[in-house]
């Protein structure tokens, strides 16, 4: 899978030393230059420096306006920005526009506010871009068998404690994730996506969700 990356998830994962989550699931990651040089650099010089070092050594590329011009894609990018600028803040708008322009199926973002990119894309307001947050990546790690449910919880709380100004609730976010991928409450797209993911990874999804729900009932 390939993905466009928003600034907030980079800050959260790098600040908590969990940046490997960005690279475990994706073949190639792309980020628009503005997000790195204007947003990331301003918010955290430490994360900015570490991220730039990974650009040279890992599967992540910074996309510039010159790159888009060379590919003949700058007018397409500009059109997406113009058509949706009323819906999103500048940085998240650029991240979504990059995904649409390059044909990237996934957007990695932790912006989960009511009218933010994650919620709007879950509702399929903009088609063909599938959003994932850090806690949904942890959820995928769990159902894939890479981490235990206890580790899922501890990783969530560490990322939450170190990098969040407004801490999230583990129980709330995980239950929302389960609900998002359910047949009853989720969209057809999300239900189909999780089923295909489980088929490829040979996961018994019902068993893994049962383990998770038992943990929540017993511990929270």
72 and 176 assigned to the same domain: no
Whether residue 115 has pLDDT greater than 90: no
User: How many angstroms separate the CA atoms of 49 and 159, rounded?
Assistant: 19
pLDDT > 70 in the chain, percent: 99
Confidence of residue 117 (pLDDT cuts 50, 70, 90): confident
Q: The dihedral of CA 115, 116, 120, 125: what is its sign? A: positive
Q: What is the DSSP string of 43-88?
A: H-HHHHHHHHHHHTTSSEEEEPHHHHHHTT-HHHHHHHHHHHTTTS
8 and 107 assigned to the same domain: yes
Confidence of residue 19 (pLDDT cuts 50, 70, 90): very high
| Structure tokens given for 211 | 């383990």
Give me the number of domains the chain comprises. 2
User: How many angstroms separate the CA atoms of 154 and 150, rounded?
Assistant: 6
What is the phi/psi pair of residue 104, to 5°?
Answer: -85, 125
Buried-exposed string 64-93: b where 16+ CB fall within 10 A, e elsewhere? eeebbeeeebeeebeebbeebeeebeebbb
User: How many angstroms separate the CA atoms of 88 and 8, rounded?
Assistant: 14
User: How many angstroms separate the CA atoms of 41 and 177, rounded?
Assistant: 31
166 and 123 assigned to the same domain: no
C-beta neighbour count of 193 within 10 angstroms = 17
Q: Quick check: 38 and 7 in contact, CB under 8 A?
A: no
Local structure of 32: helix, strand or coil: strand
Q: Which residue segment(s) compose the domain that 186 sits in? A: 135-219
pLDDT of residue 59: 87
Question: What rounded mean pLDDT belongs to the chain?
Answer: 93
User: How many angstroms separate the CA atoms of 135 and 177, rounded?
Assistant: 8
79 and 163 assigned to the same domain: no
Q: Give the CATH number for residue 92.
A: 3.40.50.1010
8 and 116 assigned to the same domain: yes
61 and 146 assigned to the same domain: no
Q: Of the candidates 77, 98, 132, which is a domain's last residue?
A: 132
The pTM of the full predicted model, rounded to 2 decimals, is: 0.94
Nearest to 7 by CA among 47, 35, 33: 35
What is the phi/psi pair of residue 202, to 5°?
Answer: 55, 55
11 and 102 assigned to the same domain: yes
């Amino acid at each position: 899978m390939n993905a466009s990356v928003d600034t907030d998830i980079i800050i959260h994962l790098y600040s908590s030393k969990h940046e490997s989550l960005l690279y475990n699931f994706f073949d190639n990651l792309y980020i628009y230059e503005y997000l790195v040089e204007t947003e990331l650099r301003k918010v955290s010089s430490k994360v900015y420096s570490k991220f730039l070092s990974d650009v040279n050594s890992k599967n992540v590329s910074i996309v510039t306006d010159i790159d888009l011009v060379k590919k003949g894609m700058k007018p397409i990018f500009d059109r997406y920005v113009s058509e949706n600028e009323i819906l999103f803040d500048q940085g998240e708008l650029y991240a979504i526009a990059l995904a649409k322009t390059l044909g990237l199926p996934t957007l990695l973002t932790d912006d989960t506010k009511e009218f933010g990119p994650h919620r709007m894309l879950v509702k399929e307001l903009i088609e063909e871009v599938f959003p994932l947050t850090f806690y949904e990546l942890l959820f995928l790690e769990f159902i894939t068998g890479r981490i235990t449910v206890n580790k899922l919880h501890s990783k969530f709380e560490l990322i939450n404690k170190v990098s969040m100004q407004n801490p999230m609730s583990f129980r709330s976010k995980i239950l929302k994730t389960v609900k998002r991928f359910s047949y009853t409450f989720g969209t057809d797209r999300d239900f189909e996506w999780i089923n295909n993911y489980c088929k490829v990874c040979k996961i018994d999804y019902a068993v893994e969700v049962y383990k998770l729900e038992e943990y929540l009932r017993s511990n929270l």
